[in-house]
Structure 1
Amino acid sequence: MLGPLLGSGYLLLRDAVSTPRSYLTDSALGLGDAAPRAVPQDALIAVGSTVVDGGLLVKAMLLTALWLVGWGAASLARDLLRVSLGPQLVAATVAIWNPYVAERLLQGHWSLLTGYAALPWIALLATRLRARGATAARADRLGTWAGLAGCLAAAGLTPTGSLLAGLVALLLVGKRNLPVTAALWILSAAPWLTATALSGAGAEPSDPAGIAAFAARAEPWLGTLGSLAGLGGIWNSTAAPGSRTTFFALVATVLLLALVATGVRAVLDAGTDSKSRSGAAAHNLDRTDVRPDDPAEPGSVPDGESSQDPMHDEARVARRRLVWLAVAAIVLPALGATGWGLSAGEFLVTRVPGAGLLRDTQKFVALAVPAYALCAAAGCRVVGRWIPTVVVDGVSAASPRARTGGAAVLFLAIVLLTLPDLAWGVGGALRPVHYPAGWQRVAGAVDAPGDVAVLPGGMFRKFRYSGSAPVLDPAPRMLKRDVLQTGELPVRGGVVSGEGERARKVENLLLQGGSANRLAELGVGWVLVEGGTPGPMGESKTTLAQLNPVYADPDVQLYRVPGDIAAHDASAAHRRLSGAAHLLWAALLASGFLTAAIHSATRRSVPREAERESHPDHDNAD
């Protein structure tokens, strides 16, 4: 999937922008004019890029996220369904290889996929906490809580990811654990909650035009509901794989839903039709080395033993809640694209501060993926039981495990075939770019006070080196000073207004050929002209003639605004508060995963030590 991107160069595709180095500007901390939509993502990249090249850092995070979502889905299927390796691989593939991932890659939402990757892990850890209650050892609960905290922080790389993670955690963790879970979620969301409170930008009403512009889209032959049920339907038709724009989208959706449908009943009622199962296997649900191999139904647990195994009962509750969450995650965005749904959305964003975060309703289809992965895994086991057993001389030629494995191969092939153009960078669209040398020279030259204004007007560019798709202007992440952006988004032939009021004044001033003195009064110390990209220039030549040229080549030209530049930076107190919130988030992320890792390693070492004590000659057994 990421093959082409792993070469040298930088991710620059629609909303995705990576640069060699980023900086802790006010905007990176969420204290600029625009709503803090990329917090704490931008701050993390800014700090990390002081040590590792920013482009490499983004690629590593994206690759890790996709790997973790597959591993998490497999682990969720193992613990909640007690399935063997084949169905676990099916769950992993469904979670990785689907239209939702493809569309978000093409839209450039790599950091949202970090939150997406955390969902199966959060579902798993929340279920364990619910099952263990007060009877579990303190060390076990501490390790699980630490893992949950780390996952919530990882999902909190963006506000939307944080919302997704919080919903899953609060839904599954149980009443007893709700207060602590809510507190951990708030701590994990501290950077963008703090930035919203300090800047006030995210609390302003949003443009109601964004509701219709970002509503889920109906794909060919499917309608909106069918598109969402197939895990597609992103608002931007140009950010969809080619196979989702033809009749094949219907075929692929039917195949995916057929795989999911085979396991729905098993997920809702798993364990009720098992013929036999030892309660000892269910007791080992937390062990990663368990290999279920029941002659009747691999990995299942009978109802008769549920009272002895609280995890089994809670796993069933979690599975059912995940299924109903999946239904809501598909139906509600579909309703949001109807006439009255659009009206309700417009009412919310104009009257409820921060409700603009909900306008891209297709994002929430991510909540359906854990249930889809579970149902596909369970369906693989069900279909495996349908395969006839050949008996030769009274001996079965195919064990239940082998038949389940055969069904898994079939399921894996079908999942991959439903989206063939996800391979190799979503059909080659996901490829690295190389910035012209002028960008680095400009980045080094911007070293004095004053914000940066950019020309042509608008936030999106089409450079000769970035391909045919529009890309978000890399200047805000390339330069040491804040780059003013209006936040206006061109969507479906219209424009959705943003929150950057000062940026809008500056852009209008440049396009009208205003004075350099007025630019200085508005806090602008630099003007950057990006060549080779379409966009309005207006009468800006008149203004540029009043400025001091600093650098020029065919790709970028930099000008210095003369005179005294008015200060419009965030206050030192606000930067300290925002910095503290970011440090709190980073501490939660690092300490959560570190504690969980130490706890996991300790638990794995205990059985080994016990085994050595019971078998003194173990080391010489071979």
Structure 2
Amino acid sequence: MPARRPTALAVAAGTCVTIALTALLLWPAAGRGQLLYRDFVSVPEPSLTSRTLGLEGPAPRAVPLDLVIALLDPVVPSGIFQLLLLAATLLLAGVGVTVLLRRWGPVATVVGAALATWSPYAVERLLLGQPPTLLAVSTLPWIVVVAREAASRRRWLVLTVVAALPAALTPVGGLTAAAAALVAAVAFRRAPLRDLGVVAVLALLWCSPWLVAVVTGHADAGQSDGAQAFAVRAAGVHGVLDVLTGGGVWSEGATPASRLRWWPLVVGCLTLGLAMVGATGLRRHRRLAFTCLVAPPVVALVLATPLGLAVMAAAQSVPGVALMRDTHRWVGISAMTVAVLAPLGLRALVQRAGASHRGPRRGLGIAVALSAGVLGVSLAVLAVPDAAARLHAAYRPVTLPSSWQRVVAAVGERHALVLPWQPMRSVGWAGPEPFLDPLPLALRGPVTVGRDLIVVRDGRLLRVGGADPESSASWARGELDAAQLRRLGIEAVVEWLGTPGRLPVTHAGLVEVLRGDGFVVWRVRD
């Protein structure tokens, strides 16, 4: 029992810091209603259709997440599930790093938990509205812990699947977990080819929900503009340092204002330096540590060069490659590696300062250790000091208009066209931030809705998606032709009120079915 006390203290310290920082960053999200922020949207009573399975509509980028939410909704309402998923992105990361570092003492776990929870990468992915993507990165320390410490082969394989399941809620997450599981199997277990084959089969199983959609032919090839639209922002020395220290997300709206200044980047560079010190001190896996630390941001930076963009643009025509075009996702591997290695580097410096001394200087050692813990947490917070303010403004639950359920009922199982013709909505009752149209999650029939996203990069307007039909040009101008709608099999039109975009002025051949708070529903005459 005495031997376990330092480990228990280290786990408790790191866990408490993780919970405290998560609460500080996300407490406004804890309320009744739905979270409607960029890509992160949900609806009351989500529908269960072939679209939910990824067999209809756009490419299956939210499979099986939408299916899981729909199936669990009777037990765990979608709004509660959103909150749990959002909190899990930070809690899993912080506690996972804590467990991984528990034998290095409470200072290491406290600093590691802070760096994993409050990082530029985590904040920017959340500000992009992509908690599921961040959740995949948060499972990485758990996959490593399982590979390193599972006593038996069977236990290792079972726990690897358990650790990977949160990541497998999205296609990119499933692939990330698969790669991590294979690398961890080789590095920490020296797994034979037979076991690697088993891991590969298990990875295929947890990726199967979206692979089915790909195999059945429902996989869109990307567009060449997508490579430039979603490359990391790496203009000048400032941009390069931003990417190397966990930032550089492609969206200006998801970039914290503090990351545009120099001093948070200096803080990030100091933390990166500590991580390099930590990697240098490793007796084993030093090469792997440096690779995970440096390779992801360097590759992202190379792919942001003219030559790299040309290569990525050419590769977008290959189905499935579009999943990799958001190169900022890869930086998450480095960010998580920093959270693990920087505490080790700080600990090495503390030991040199005499924190490990006993006897008359023990009090001084404790003071140095406490100071090191405070310094490490400060480095995490100062790297993106406006994180809490930005996340508080972004993640606030809202109540949908009272007419929402009546709109869904009025459409029924009819094929619906949703206007204005654009993928994002911005309405007063949901706050100032835009959000992905959530109606397709609620409607029970086929839905035709704008999918092409307009991204501004270097003064250029880039259209990404390529899924909009030819007739969408007239819909974007606010023009409706009932005969055309009938030819396309569209039986109903739902109009959002108070959101950017043009709505039709005339509705010849349509009958108004419902005019509610925020919506109008029309039926196409036979």
1:264-279 alignment, distance < 5 Å: 264-267=279-282, 269=283
| Cα distance in 2 between the residues matched to 1:45 and 1:507 | 33
Structure 1 partner of 2:492: 526
Structure 2 partner of 1:89: 110
Structure 2 partner of 1:216: 232
* Paired residue secondary structure (2:315): helix
* Paired residue secondary structure (1:454): strand
Calculate percent identity across the aligned residue pairs: 34
Structure 1 partner of 2:329: 363
CA shift for structure 1 position 36 = 0.6
**Alpha-carbon displacement from aligned partner over 1:586-614 (angstroms, at most 9, x marks no partner):** xxxxxxxxxxxxxxxxxxxxxxxxxxxxx
* Paired residue secondary structure (1:398): helix
Relative to 1, partners in 2 of residues 1:550 and 1:229: Cα closer, same or farther, differing over 3 Å? same
**Which ranges of structure 1 fall in alignment gaps of 5 or more residues?**
130-135, 270-315, 564-622
CA shift for structure 1 position 93 = 1.3
Structure 1 partner of 2:363: 398
Relative to 1, partners in 2 of residues 1:521 and 1:418: Cα closer, same or farther, differing over 3 Å? same
Relative to 1, partners in 2 of residues 1:390 and 1:521: Cα closer, same or farther, differing over 3 Å? closer
1:197-208 alignment, distance < 5 Å: 197-198=215-216, 200-202=217-219, 204-208=220-224
**Which ranges of structure 2 fall in alignment gaps of 5 or more residues?**
1-24
Structure 2 partner of 1:515: 481
1:140-289 alignment, distance < 5 Å: 140-174=152-186, 175-176=191-192, 177-198=195-216, 200-202=217-219, 204-218=220-234, 222-223=238-239, 225-267=240-282, 269=283
| Cα distance in 2 between the residues matched to 1:501 and 1:409 | 52
Structure 2 partner of 1:583: none
Relative to 1, partners in 2 of residues 1:423 and 1:509: Cα closer, same or farther, differing over 3 Å? closer
Structure 1 partner of 2:14: none
Whichever residue aligns with residue 444 of structure 1, its letter is: A
Relative to 1, partners in 2 of residues 1:487 and 1:387: Cα closer, same or farther, differing over 3 Å? same
Q: Is the 8 A contact 2:455 2:461 kept in 1?
A: yes
Structure 2 partner of 1:329: 296
- Of 406, 409, 429, which aligns to 1:444? 409
1:339-350 alignment, distance < 5 Å: 339-350=306-317
Q: Is the 8 A contact 2:421 2:450 kept in 1?
A: no
Count of residue correspondences: 493
Relative to 1, partners in 2 of residues 1:524 and 1:344: Cα closer, same or farther, differing over 3 Å? same
State yes or no: 1:546 paired with 2:509. yes
* Paired residue secondary structure (2:417): strand
Relative to 1, partners in 2 of residues 1:8 and 1:354: Cα closer, same or farther, differing over 3 Å? same
Higher relative CO (Cα under 8 Å, sequence separation at least 6) belongs to: 1
State yes or no: 1:375 paired with 2:341. yes
TM-score, scaled relative to structure 1: 0.75
State yes or no: 1:109 paired with 2:133. no
Q: Is the 8 A contact 2:34 2:42 kept in 1?
A: yes
Q: Is the 8 A contact 1:207 1:498 kept in 2?
A: yes
More displaced 10-residue stretch of structure 1: 416-425 or 238-247 = 416-425
* Paired residue secondary structure (2:58): coil
CA shift for structure 1 position 377 = 1.8
CA shift for structure 1 position 220 = 7.8
| Cα distance in 2 between the residues matched to 1:322 and 1:376 | 11
Q: Is the 8 A contact 2:272 2:342 kept in 1?
A: no
CA shift for structure 1 position 511 = 4.4
Structure 2 partner of 1:13: 37
Structure 1 partner of 2:17: none
| Cα distance in 2 between the residues matched to 1:547 and 1:495 | 34
CA shift for structure 1 position 400 = 5.7
- Of 417, 426, 429, which aligns to 1:462? 426
Q: Is the 8 A contact 1:527 1:558 kept in 2?
A: yes
CA shift for structure 1 position 253 = 2.3
TM-score, scaled relative to structure 2: 0.88
* Paired residue secondary structure (1:437): coil
| Cα distance in 2 between the residues matched to 1:390 and 1:158 | 45
Whichever residue aligns with residue 379 of structure 1, its letter is: G
More displaced 10-residue stretch of structure 1: 553-562 or 149-158 = 553-562
